[in-house]
Structure 1
Amino acid sequence: MLKKKRAIISIASLLVLALLVAYFAYSNATSYVAIINGERITEAEYRFFLYSEKRVMEMDKTQEEIDALWNSKIDGVDATEVVKQNALENAKKYKIQYFKAKEQGLFLNDNDYKSIEDSINVLLGQMSGFEGTRKQAEKSFKEWFGISVKEYRNIVEKLHLGYKFALKEQENNIKVTEQELKDHFKENSGNFIKATANILLFYKRDVPKFYKRDVPNGYTMLTDEEIEESKKKAEEALKEIKDGKRFISVAAKYAEDKKVELEENTEVKMGADMEQEIIDWAVKSNVGDVELIETDLGFNVIEILSLTSFEDERDNVRSVVAGEKYEKILDEWAKDSIYNLELNEKALNKIKVR
């Protein structure tokens, strides 16, 4: 009887061992999506870029529009396949830059690691509302991004190293002529010019003062009569300023009005948390210009105080032009046969976009 029990235990042990071997073999076979230059693009790395591509594709879309997007085709190809291919291409370029950074002996210093860790802590804090535990935040992180914090940290470290290489290339090995700088600025000045302005806002919406311009959608519109009253006040304010009265003096007249708000020395630039209509007008104006700009939020009487020039923005323009040239060089590197991808179709097919 004892021998029989031992035999059963031995068979069970062998079965467990076989299952473990099979599991690890399967896990190893699906833990990467491709091999490039002898190194794997891990599933976590691919998911990172896939998530980034999804965010770009879904940006500024309603849920209904997002659903329609992922059931559509782009140039005859399923949108899901397009985003997967884009993610794979971005993962490839990420690896190429990492390889080249290592070839040049670049490395991350203590400040780099601290910066990365600080950014991760902020991200986790935001996910937990700065109230939950670290464990809860990391769980939410994995549910949201599809990768662990440890995997994310490893990817960001490699990205940071690749960025160091890219910056070094742009600064030392990419030439940008003066004419190229001036031409780019002329064609894209609105992307670079920064303005400061005084803005006297006459609301069209019922918005608490403390929200200022970062206004959540859903606040109710004022009545038609109240909106017409706001417009009339804004037009009166504009006329007084154009007739020679100081902007601040005119604004003082409305200081007690809860439907009016003054923002002094406000920075206006591309990407600012501000209505696009204001940005579009401000970056094309001259110092001293005053205008009434209507937005969804209200009627804005705006006075331009300062504007940056080409000379002010020269370094930023060069960074953009050099960056565009670098991207073209990176595209050429990606065509080199040593960076051809050996795809793991089994792993790729297992990963779903939605």
Structure 2
Amino acid sequence: MKRSATSEITVEGAAGDGGAPDAAPGELADRLEAYRTELTGYCYRMLGSAFEAEDAVQETMVRAWRAHDRFEGRASLRSWLYRIATNVCLDLLKGSRRRARPMDLASPASVDTPIGTGLPEATWIGPVPDARVLAAAGDPAERAVSRESVRLAFIAALQRLAPRQRAVLILREVLSWSAREVAELLGSSVASVNSALQRARATLAASAEAPAEPLDDSQQELLRRYVDAFERFDLDALTALLHEDSTLSMPPYALWLRGRADFLAWLRGPGGGCAGSHLVPVAANGRPAFGQYRADGLPWAIQVLDVADGRITGLHSFLDTERLFPLFGLPLRYGGPKPA
């Protein structure tokens, strides 16, 4: 389904079954829209794609609009919307292969390995702008959990779960729903929910990665130095910023590299086109990220960084610029730094 604006929800709903008798169309649209960000975050965790998540939420909104006159209020509007969103996601996941990162599919390659042919978009977990999935305000502890739960590594771990287990774990562990609430949403029993949660936790424990560190002053300085070194293409300066086991991945290609030596060898060789790049800061997956433009001003990649122990441990470079740059609100040609 094509993504639509709020006004388009109203038009489509008016053409369908109509709104609830106790809510004017504009009021109902506003009530539904209030849940868009958190629902998008939920669907992104379920599906691993920002584009699929937005489509799933749009379908949720349309279904809610059309059925709102039959909503009896036995559950909260929020719970009802999550029930619809869960059903939409489970339908989308029927028969589909799980999305992954390059490192989830194969062993690291060497810098001399041919890059190969790009794989279809449905193969990969994609990045998502923080503003689409994370609340701008709220309890700091809850916001920290939310940021951690949209990290690429966590999304990749979720994709290893069966779809219903995935829903149970997100609702229980990320959104703090009770087992009874989740059972009601899924039309299941509390015992079944607890069993699914136990199995999901065991699966995630086997593939867990260390939690991300908070973006404090030292990390901000690390990022400043990274931008400076990358834009000057000073590989000696970049060497000091990379962890010895740092990784480089470049979806839609399956090839990925591990180790500072191969990382830098790639930049000196096949990645030499990065010389003269401009980096524009964005926020993705709860982590620091950049829109990378080539020296000629054309978009090259969305970079999402992993940082730990004062070093850059991973660079995920997503090359589908035609779709991703508009998603992040970036122009398709570099116009220079924004005025201070």
Relative to the length of structure 1, the TM-score reads 0.24
Which has the larger Rg?
1
- Higher RCO (Cα < 8 Å, 6 or more apart): 1
**Quick check: which one's helix share is greater?**
1
